A and B are shown apart, each in its own frame.
Chain A
Amino acid sequence: MFNRQIAQRIAFILISLTALLVILPIFAILGYIVAKGIGAISWEFLTSMPRNGMKEGGLLPAIVGTLLLTLGTGMIAVPIGVGAAIYLAEYAGDNALTRAIRIAIINLAGIPSVVYGLFGLGLFVIFLRFGTSILAGSLTLGIMTLPVIISTAEEALRAVPQEFRLVSTSLGGTRWQTIRRVVLPQALPGIITGIILGLERAAGETAPILFTVAAFFLPRLPSSILDQTMALPYHLFVISTQVPGMPIRIQYGTALVLLVFVLSMNVLATLIRRHYRKQRVW
C-alpha cells in the first residue's frame, strides 16, 4: 500500500513538472514582451508613420493594414464559412459528397500557411491580376480561415436541440425559416466565437501575406483595396530580421502591439462563450 502511494506521488510530481515546463514559458513570453515593450508604447507610436528607415516614428500603417486585412478576411470567410456550416449541419445527407466535403475541410485546415501564400500568389496575384494587394491578401487569408469557421459554426449549429427545429416545423415554418429564425439565433454566440478565433489566427499570420499583400516599408495609408499595405506580423518580421541596427525597444513594442491585438480577440471569444453558456436555457 505504501509503495503504491509513493509511486503515485512520484508520477504526479514528474507529470506536474513537465506540464509546468509547457505552461510557465507561456507566462514568461507574455510577461517578457509586456515588460520590454511597454516602454515603447505611446500615442505617437500607435498613430504616426514610421520614419528614418522605421527606426523612429510609429506603427500606424501596419496597424491599419492588419485591421483592414482582418476585416477583409472576415468578409470573405464569414459568409462562405457559415453557409457551409449550415449546409453540413442542416442539409447534408450521410453520403459520399458529405464525406468528400469533410475530408476537404480537414485538408484545408492542415495545409501549411506558406502554401496558402503560394496559392494566393498563383491565383489572385498573377492569374486574376489583382497584383500584391489588400484584395489578394484578404482572399488568401479568408480561404485559410474557412476551415476554422466551418468547424466551429457547424458544432454550434449541431448543439441546438432537435426539439427546437421540430417545434418550428410543427408551427408551419419552412426549413429555411426554421434555420433563419430558430436555429441560427440559438447558435449565434458559438458561431461568433468561432469567427473571432478564426480571424485571430488570420490577423497573426505572416506567411500567407508575404507574397500577396505585405509591403516592406510603405509610410502611407492604403487608398484602395488594390493597394499594398504594411501589416503588423510582417512588420515585426522585417524589423527583427531584415533591418540592421533596429532599436530593440521598437521591436518589443511592435511585438506587444501585435500580441495585444491578437490575444484580445482570444479573450473576447472566451468571454462571449462563457457569457452565453451561462445564459443558455438548454
Chain B
Amino acid sequence: MKRLPGLLTQKRTVSFSEFLIERLIGLTGLSAVALVIMIFFFLIREGVPAFFEVPFSSLWSTRWYPIEDYFGLLPLIAGSALVTIGAAAIALPLGLTTAIFIAEIVPRWAREFLKPLVEVLAGIPSVVIGFMGMLVLAPMVRVALDIPTGLTAFTGMILLAWMALPTVVSVVEDVLDTVPRTYRDAGLALGMTRWQTIWRIVLPAGRSGILTALMLGVGRAIGETMTVMMVTGNAARMPYAPSDFFMSVRTMTATIAAEMGEVAQGSAHYHVLFAVGLTLFVITFLVNIAAAAMVFRQAKRSERMLS
C-alpha cells in the first residue's frame, strides 16, 4: 500500500494524551525486536554455561544418559533431523497436491468449505494429535509392519507431516494465486487442457514459492514437541540404517519437554537442556530468515512479471 501523502503525516499540535498514546504505540512496535533479543539473551545466559561444564567430547558423542552425566547430543540432533526430513518429504508432495486440489480442481463452493477445514487442522492442539497417534496410528503401524512397537520415528513423521500440511498448503495456495490470470488464459486459449495449464504454466511460474513452503514446513516440523514426544518412543539412540525409521527415536524438543521438569535448577543437565533450546532457536531463526528472504525475492519477481 502507498504511504500516506505528506499532508497526513504532517506534525500538528496535539494534546498531551495523544502524544503519550503515540509514544506507547511506538514502544509496542518495538516489542517484537526486544522480545527476540530477550529470548536469545536468556537462552544464552542459561545455555552457554553447558559448554564450560560439560567437555566438548561428551556433548559430541552418541550417548545421552544424563543421570550418569552422559550428555551426547548427537542422537537428539539425529532424531530431530530424521523425523523432520521425513516429515518434510511427506508433507511437500501432499501439500502441493492438496493445494492444487483446493485451488484449481474443486468447484468454488467446495473451496469455501475446504479452506476453513484445513485451518481446522491447524487448530487441533498438538497434544490431541499425539493422543490419537498413540492410540490409533501407532497400533496400526505396529500391526502393518509387524514390529514390536508402533512408537517409531516413522509414526512421528506421518503425524508431523500432516500437522505441517496447513502451512505448506497455504503457502502453495498463495503462490498459485500470484500466477497471473492471463498466463492461464493464454494456455487455455492455445487449446491446452486445464491439467496441461497447471503442469506446464502455473507450477513452473510458481516454483520458487514451493521451496518457501518446504522451508516453512520444516520450521514447523522441527519445533513440534508434544506430538513427537508422545509417538516416537523417546529412546535416545543413534539411527544408523534405513531400518531405524521404524525404531524409536528421541528429538531435541521432546528431550527438553520430558526432562526440564525434573532437573535441578543450575545443574549441568539444566544448562545442557537450555543449550539444546538455544540450538533449536538458532536453527529455526536461520530457516525462517531464509524463507522470508525467498518470499521477498519472489514478491519482487512477480512484480516484475506483472509490470
A7 contacts B193, C-beta separation under 8 Å: yes
A192 on the B face (CB < 8 A):
no
A16 contacts B101, C-beta separation under 8 Å: yes
B32 contacts A169, C-beta separation under 8 Å: no
* Residues of A bordering B, CB below 8 Å: 4-5, 7-8, 11-12, 14-16, 18-19, 21-23, 25-26, 29-30, 32-33, 79-81, 83-84, 86-88, 91-94, 100-119, 121-123, 126-127, 143, 146-147, 150, 158, 162, 165-166, 169, 174-177, 197, 200-201, 203-207, 210-211, 233-234, 236-237, 240-241, 248, 251, 255, 258-259, 262-263, 265-266, 270
A111 contacts B195, C-beta separation under 8 Å: no
- Give the contacting residue for A165; candidates B4, B136, B225, B230; CB below 8 A: B4
Interface size class of chain B, counting residues whose CB lies under 8 Å from the partner chain: 35 or more
B107 on the A face (CB < 8 A):
no
* A residues less than 8 Å from B281 (CB atoms): 111-112, 115
B295 nearest CB neighbor, chain A only: A106
- Give A259 to B123 CA distance when docked, in angstroms: 9
B123 contacts A12, C-beta separation under 8 Å: no
A8 contacts B196, C-beta separation under 8 Å: yes
- Give the contacting residue for B32; candidates A105, A259, A265; CB below 8 A: A105
Label chain B's interface by main secondary structure: helix
Label chain A's interface by main secondary structure: helix
B304 on the A face (CB < 8 A):
no
B126 on the A face (CB < 8 A):
yes
A-B contact pairs, 20 of them (CB 8 A): A15-B97, A22-B118, A29-B124, A33-B132, A83-B31, A91-B29, A94-B3, A103-B292, A110-B288, A111-B284, A112-B253, A115-B281, A162-B2, A175-B14, A176-B21, A207-B226, A248-B135, A258-B125, A258-B128, A270-B116
- Give the contacting residue for A266; candidates B12, B21, B123; CB below 8 A: B123
Nearest chain A CB to B22's CB is how many angstroms away? 6
Instruction: A29-B128, A91-B29, A255-B128 given; name 17 further pairs at CB < 8 Å.
Output: A4-B196, A7-B195, A8-B193, A18-B101, A23-B114, A84-B29, A103-B292, A107-B288, A115-B256, A115-B281, A117-B260, A118-B43, A118-B260, A127-B42, A175-B22, A204-B127, A207-B257
